[in-house]
Structure 1
Amino acid sequence: MPSTMQMVTFAAWRDDALLSYRLADRRYVTLAELVVRLGSYGLGLTWKARMFDEQPRPAFARMMEASAGAGIPTLELLAMDAPYMQAVDSEVEGYMGNELVLILREFDSSSWDVRTADAWVLSEIQRSYPDTRPMTPDEWDSTN
């Protein structure tokens, strides 16, 4: 990946806004949510899934198998259980043609890490998840 890549991280579990009639709900940011937040940028990507666990959940194992080789288009990725999938200790790489342009990595069911050189992607992540903070290369390497 080019040296201009930047890395950020944010909490995977979110407290939804308090409503006057109920307490806040906790929800998990899914892979599908992240991909959808990329809008038209994400639609042009092809994806490859990897998991660091030797025993991936069946849905993620199917995603890894389908994305092996040339990868899978965004809409196919979203159709593969992604809206419900908690992708513990995994990463999904986004390619524009043959160039790796984005990595979405879920770490230990507690955070999402994003690596890209695209300023718009970084600003969209920061806008959507205000607790986003920069990561150092050492932090990125230690969660891999």
Structure 2
Amino acid sequence: MILSMPAWTGDHYISLAEILLCLGKSLADLQWYVKITEIAPEPGAEQLEALSPTTALSIFELLHLVTPGIQIIDGEITATDESGKQQLLLRAVDSSSWDVETDLEHILSTLEDSYPELTHIE
């Protein structure tokens, strides 16, 4: 299933860090891959830009890199399980929305509860 939500609520940017913290410990066993196309020039952004899309990160390593001030304009963050199967795809779309692709029901319900402006995409 694919969902989309605005990246901005009023003056508040919903960062990748906020989304990951919202989803919580259910993501702890996944491996994370980051492919940044464009990022706002903030302190720490260069570390994300320098990551190879093939570098596997733990959720803790990823959270360390994506402080709440980091604004991803365009990019993809993928989570895979131990067998390499994609479990979650977060796509930053032109700094205006986050698209979320997953079949994991607990992730979908957590996001729907936390972000009422979430919409379903066919």
**TM value normalised by structure 2:** 0.86
Paired position in structure 1 for 2:104: 118
Q: Is 2:66 aligned against 1:71?
A: no
- Counterpart mapping for 1:50-129 below 5 A: 50-53=35-38, 57=41, 59-66=44-51, 68-97=53-82, 98-129=84-115
Larger Rg: 1
Q: Is 2:13 aligned against 1:10?
A: no
- Residue 73 of structure 2 aligns to a residue whose secondary structure is coil
> RMSD of aligned C-alpha atoms?
2.0
Aligned residues: 120
- Residue 87 of structure 2 aligns to a residue whose secondary structure is strand
- Residue 89 of structure 1 aligns to a residue whose secondary structure is strand
Gaps of 5+ in 2: none
Give deviations 1:83-120, integer Å, cap 9, x for gaps: 22101011100111111100011111111110001011
- Residue 98 of structure 2 aligns to a residue whose secondary structure is strand
Give deviations 1:33-68, integer Å, cap 9, x for gaps: 011111111122211111234x88584452254454
Shift of residue 29, structure 1, vs aligned partner: 0.3
Whole-Å separation in 1 of the counterparts to 2:26 and 2:64: 18
Gaps of 5+ in 1: 1-5, 16-25, 137-144
**TM value normalised by structure 1:** 0.74
Paired position in structure 1 for 2:29: 44
Whole-Å separation in 2 of the counterparts to 1:86 and 1:135: 23
- Residue 52 of structure 1 aligns to a residue whose secondary structure is strand
- Residue 41 of structure 1 aligns to a residue whose secondary structure is helix
Whole-Å separation in 2 of the counterparts to 1:81 and 1:51: 12
Whole-Å separation in 2 of the counterparts to 1:77 and 1:134: 26
